[in-house]
Amino acid sequence: MKSGIFITFEGIDGSGKTTQITALIQHLDEAGIPYQLFREPGGTGIGEKVRDILLDKNNDSMLSMTELLLYSASRYQLTKSQIIPALESGKVVICDRFYDSSTAYQGYGRGIDLDFIMRLNAAATDSLVPDKTFILDISLEERHLRLDNKNLDRLEQEALDFHKRVHDGFLKMAAIEPERFIVLEGNRNPEELSNEIWETVKTLKELINK
Please give the residue ranges that form the binding site for ligand TYD (CB under 6 A).
Answer: 13, 39-41, 55, 71, 96-97, 101-102, 105-106, 153, 155-156
* Secondary structure (H, E, C), 114-148: HHHHHHHHHHHHCCCCCCEEEEEECCHHHHHHHHC
Could you give the 3-state DSSP secondary structure of residue 180? Answer: coil
DSSP label at residue 4:
S
Pick between residue 39 and residue 167 the one whose CB is nearest to ligand TYD: 39
Residue with the shortest CB distance to ligand TYD: 105
Compare residues 39 and 205 and give the one whose CB is closer to ligand TYD: 39
Residue 140 CB, shortest distance to ligand TYD, in Å, is: 14
To the nearest whole angstrom, how small is the minimum distance from the Cβ of residue 171 to ligand TYD?
16
Q: Supply the minimum distance, in Å, between the C-beta of residue 101 and ligand TYD.
A: 3
Q: Which is nearer to ligand TYD, 67 or 131 (CB)?
A: 67
Looking at beta carbons only, is 71 or 205 nearer to ligand TYD? 71
Smallest gap from Cβ 48 to ligand TYD, in A, equals: 11
The single-letter code of the amino acid at 96 is D
For residue 153, the minimal CB distance to ligand TYD (Å) is: 6
Q: Least distance from C-beta 207 to ligand TYD, angstroms?
A: 27
Query: Is the Cβ of residue 31 or residue 123 nearer to ligand TYD in the bound state?
Result: 123
Sheet holding 132-137, edge to edge: 35-39, 92-96, 5-10, 132-137, 181-185
The C-alpha atoms of residue 151 and residue 43 are separated, in whole angstroms, by: 22
Please say which residue, 96 or 131, places its beta carbon nearer to ligand TYD.
96
36 forms bridges with which residues in the sheet? 93
